[in-house]
Amino acid sequence: MEHVPIAIALVDKHGAFLARSARWQELQSKLFTKWQSRNFLLSISSREDWTAAFKRVLRGETVRRDEDTLLMVAGTKEYAKWEARPWISRNGTVEGGVLSIALITEQVQARKRAEEQSEFFNAVLESIDNGIVACDADGRLTMFNARTR
């Protein structure tokens, strides 16, 4: 599992790490103190939402978050998407969880910049006293300001 190209870990139902990819270990060193890194439950003890999610995993549910804010040990903020799935033995009992995390900070920041630019553009468009209309290459109306109405 060490060479898997994603941040993934296998933990037992007590939170002990059974296996971790190199990417998980790299991310873990930025996200948790060395003391916290010994056990997944210690790692997440300050995050009630993650603790609740792990309990759901132990009940057999898959839990995911498409965008979550992570506060790194260095004090920086990162965005991540993560998923936690139950690890089920052959006899059907939940033995722990399979966890994966992907940092999506660049994508979230790009989306937020695009949203800000769109809001700015719309504010400028609406502040113009003349009617403005835009059409696409097929002649379909794609944009107009309030003055046009």
Instruction: Give 4-19 pLDDT, tens digit per residue.
Output: 778 999 999 988 889 8
Q: How many CA atoms lie within 13 A of 133 on its CB side?
A: 6
Comparing 84 with 33, the larger pLDDT belongs to 84
Q: In this predicted structure, what is the pLDDT of residue 37?
A: 59
Residue spans of alpha helices (H) in 1-144: 22-31, 40-43, 48-58, 105-127
pTM of the predicted model as reported, rounded to 2 decimal places: 0.73
Q: Say whether pLDDT at 97 is over 60.
A: yes
> Does position 84 have pLDDT exceeding 80, yes or no?
yes
- pLDDT of 48 higher than 60: yes
At 42 the pLDDT is 63
Q: What is the spatial distance between Cα 59 and Cα 56, in angstroms, rounded to a whole number?
A: 5
Q: What pairing do the DSSP bridges indicate for beta strands 141-144 and 17-20?
A: unpaired
Q: Tens of pLDDT along 109-147?
A: 999 999 999 898 888 888 888 888 888 999 898 888 888
Whether 61 has a pLDDT exceeding 90, the answer reads: yes
Confidence of residue 33 (pLDDT cuts 50, 70, 90): low
